[in-house]
A = this chain, B = another copy of it.
Amino acid sequence: MSKKQRTAINPTREENFPKWYQSVVREADMAEMAHVRGCMVIKPWGFGIWENIQQILGQQIKDCGVKNAYFPLFVPLSYIEKEAQHVEGFAKEMAVVTHHRLENTENGLKPSGELTEPLIVRPTSETIIGESFASWIQSYRDLPLKINQWCNIVRWEMRPRVFLRTSEFLWQEGHTAFATAKEAYDDTIQMLKIYKDFSQERLAMPVIDGVKPSYDKFPGAIDTYCIEAMMQDGKALQAGTTHNLGTNFSKAANIMFTDTDGEQKHAHTASWGVSTRLIGGVIMTHADDNGLRLPPEIAPAQIVIIPIQRGKDEQEDAQVLEYAKKLKDSFKGLTFGKFNTKVNVELDDTLIKSSTKKWNWVKKGVPIQIEVGPRDIPENKFVARLRSEETYEKHFLTIDQIKTEIPKFLETIQKTYFDQAKERLDSSIKEVDSFDELKDLFAKDYKGFVLAPWNPCDEEDVRLKELKITIRCVPFEYKKEDKKCILTGEDTNIKAIFAKSY
């Protein structure tokens, strides 16, 4: 591709990261903001990624002995009120249903049939699932109980950003109940590990796992664990969370069981979730100034075949299309990588110019683009280009080589994307020992995370708030040293990740 065409996305990451992001989403035809305030339309190319997340992560969740189920969209106000911190945490962003029909009036249709109790469109389902758990759990024999649902969630959003913050989004929420505190804790750690592995091995998105400051935990939880990823602008994205709810919600919903000793006890519960936000993470981790780059493990299609039809000779064009179809069939049953992921192939036979087509697929981030023209037919040849190669150079292959070469290419692309992101993450964590150092760094437009000594406390430091810096987590792994907390000067051997964030 010529120099002049080199950046398909305007502006570039360097010029304006937020606008670059929006442009990537638009040019890749992944999603768009709806006319409905704060809601998004997820288009097939974006939704295909979500379907893969559902399918792969969904299976991993099932493999942990969790069963899928479905609970009501509407939460009665009285349920939400039962856990004080919980309602406080969500009250400002709840869509409230107050009527159950419309009525014709002189001034047009108006809401009618007022409900005696308003219903909240679920901002999360701890309270409504808790009601069910209370009736399902009677004895220790009913435990553990592990349930998951894939559903839509509504949290009213004043400053929506596609995939990152929208009034409606899709997610999975796991809800589990146990006889002991240890099991509930273990569950949050096990699920965080699954999220971490999924994020790294499938999304090629390296993350740091750790525990949230207590003032930033899920409203009503005793502890919240998280995975934090670094976007290309150095900001953190919270990519998944797991919550140890202790007995807070089981007390609110009266989830009790008769234990082996005959005693009535409150169950220990946990919850955990990831959302369509992950798609935003994939974009901001891998996309470049030519558009999206999709890790093969999660791409809706790993390969697109573009028939180069010159439009001069109908018979020739038909032969090229025929050959493209034959080529597509040659991929049947092909898998790649350690998970034996199925290779999906798209044949783009739309009625647009091949050069436009090629750029469209670069912008959509398909891992391998294959071109076939009239001269390839006699020799069973084709040209493959890898989205991961900056030069986008031609690889000449024959149909016979598909089985050996294509899986290798895909594995290389997957590895390349992860390595690039990991290298960026590792080289963008600075250690500091004082608040002034931290402040200076970000004042100089630092793009990255900061690791610094911190003594856990229950309230957010006002100086951080002013700088729009947050403590992302106390990571599970760091070198323990006796130091002074950069905020309070107190002794501590704990360190935390400080960063700007989404």
Whether, in the assembled complex, A374 has its beta carbon less than 8 Å from a beta carbon of chain B, the answer is: no
In the bound complex, residues from chain B placing their C-beta under 8 Å from that of A35 are: 76, 131
**Which of A42-50, A177-185, A317-325 faces chain B?**
A42-50
In the bound complex, residues from chain B placing their C-beta under 8 Å from that of A147 are: 44
Whether, in the assembled complex, A358 has its beta carbon less than 8 Å from a beta carbon of chain B, the answer is: no
How long is the Cα–Cα vector from A95 to B74 in the complex, in angstroms? 10
How long is the Cα–Cα vector from A80 to B132 in the complex, in angstroms? 34
Closest B residue to A142 by CB, please name it. Answer: B350
**Which of A63-71, A235-243, A307-315, A455-463 faces chain B?**
A63-71
Known: A74-B168, A91-B102. A97 touches B109 (CB 8 A): no
Closest B residue to A117 by CB, please name it. Answer: B37
Q: Which of B43, B77, B80, B109 contacts A69 (CB 8 A)?
A: B43
Q: Which of B74, B94, B350 contacts A101 (CB 8 A)?
A: B94
Contact B170 A70 (CB under 8 A): yes
Q: Smallest CB–CB gap between A481 and chain B, Å?
A: 45
Contact A97 B100 (CB under 8 A): no
In the bound complex, residues from chain B placing their C-beta under 8 Å from that of A92 are: 101-102
Whether, in the assembled complex, A28 has its beta carbon less than 8 Å from a beta carbon of chain B, the answer is: no
Contact A100 B109 (CB under 8 A): no
Contact B168 A72 (CB under 8 A): yes
Known: A141-B351, A168-B74. A96 touches B111 (CB 8 A): yes
Q: Which of B73, B87, B168 contacts A39 (CB 8 A)?
A: B73
In the bound complex, residues from chain B placing their C-beta under 8 Å from that of A36 are: 72, 74-76, 119, 128
In the bound complex, residues from chain B placing their C-beta under 8 Å from that of A75 are: 36
Closest B residue to A98 by CB, please name it. Answer: B98
Contact B96 A102 (CB under 8 A): yes
Whether, in the assembled complex, A41 has its beta carbon less than 8 Å from a beta carbon of chain B, the answer is: yes
Chain A 236-271 interface mask (CB, 8 Å, partner B; 1/0): 000000000000000000000000000000000000
Q: Smallest CB–CB gap between A69 and chain B, Å?
A: 5
Known: A70-B47, A73-B154. A121 touches B94 (CB 8 A): no
Task: Tell me how many residues of A have a C-beta within 8 Å of chain B.
Answer: 63
Known: A96-B102, A100-B93, A141-B352. A109 touches B73 (CB 8 A): no
Chain A 198-217 interface mask (CB, 8 Å, partner B; 1/0): 00000000000000000000
In the bound complex, residues from chain B placing their C-beta under 8 Å from that of A121 are: 73, 97, 121
Closest B residue to A44 by CB, please name it. Answer: B67
Contact A69 B44 (CB under 8 A): yes
Closest B residue to A351 by CB, please name it. Answer: B141
Chain A 101-145 interface mask (CB, 8 Å, partner B; 1/0): 111100011010100001111000000100110000000010000
Q: Which of B70, B76, B101 contacts A42 (CB 8 A)?
A: B70
Contact B74 A91 (CB under 8 A): no
Q: Smallest CB–CB gap between A393 and chain B, Å?
A: 31
How long is the Cα–Cα vector from A94 to B115 in the complex, in angstroms? 12
Whether, in the assembled complex, A316 has its beta carbon less than 8 Å from a beta carbon of chain B, the answer is: no
Q: Which of B47, B93, B101 contacts A93 (CB 8 A)?
A: B101
How long is the Cα–Cα vector from A80 to B110 in the complex, in angstroms? 12
Q: Smallest CB–CB gap between A331 and chain B, Å?
A: 17
How long is the Cα–Cα vector from A120 to B98 in the complex, in angstroms? 11
Q: Smallest CB–CB gap between A278 and chain B, Å?
A: 14
Q: Which of B69, B81, B109, B350 contacts A91 (CB 8 A)?
A: B109
Whether, in the assembled complex, A328 has its beta carbon less than 8 Å from a beta carbon of chain B, the answer is: no
Closest B residue to A70 by CB, please name it. Answer: B42
How long is the Cα–Cα vector from A72 to B43 in the complex, in angstroms? 12
Contact A91 B71 (CB under 8 A): no
How long is the Cα–Cα vector from A109 to B84 in the complex, in angstroms? 12
Whether, in the assembled complex, A197 has its beta carbon less than 8 Å from a beta carbon of chain B, the answer is: no
In the bound complex, residues from chain B placing their C-beta under 8 Å from that of A120 are: 102
Whether, in the assembled complex, A454 has its beta carbon less than 8 Å from a beta carbon of chain B, the answer is: no
Q: Which of B51, B91, B102 contacts A77 (CB 8 A)?
A: B102
Whether, in the assembled complex, A99 has its beta carbon less than 8 Å from a beta carbon of chain B, the answer is: yes
Whether, in the assembled complex, A171 has its beta carbon less than 8 Å from a beta carbon of chain B, the answer is: no
In the bound complex, residues from chain B placing their C-beta under 8 Å from that of A94 are: 100-102
How long is the Cα–Cα vector from A35 to B44 in the complex, in angstroms? 36
Residues on A facing B (Cβ under 8 Å): 34-36, 39-44, 47-48, 50-51, 67-77, 80-81, 87, 91-104, 108-109, 111, 113, 118-121, 128, 131-132, 141, 147, 151-152, 154, 156, 168, 170, 350-352
Residue pairs across A and B with Cβ atoms less than 8 A apart, 12 shown, are A34-B71, A34-B128, A36-B128, A39-B72, A44-B67, A48-B67, A73-B152, A93-B100, A98-B99, A100-B156, A121-B121, A151-B152
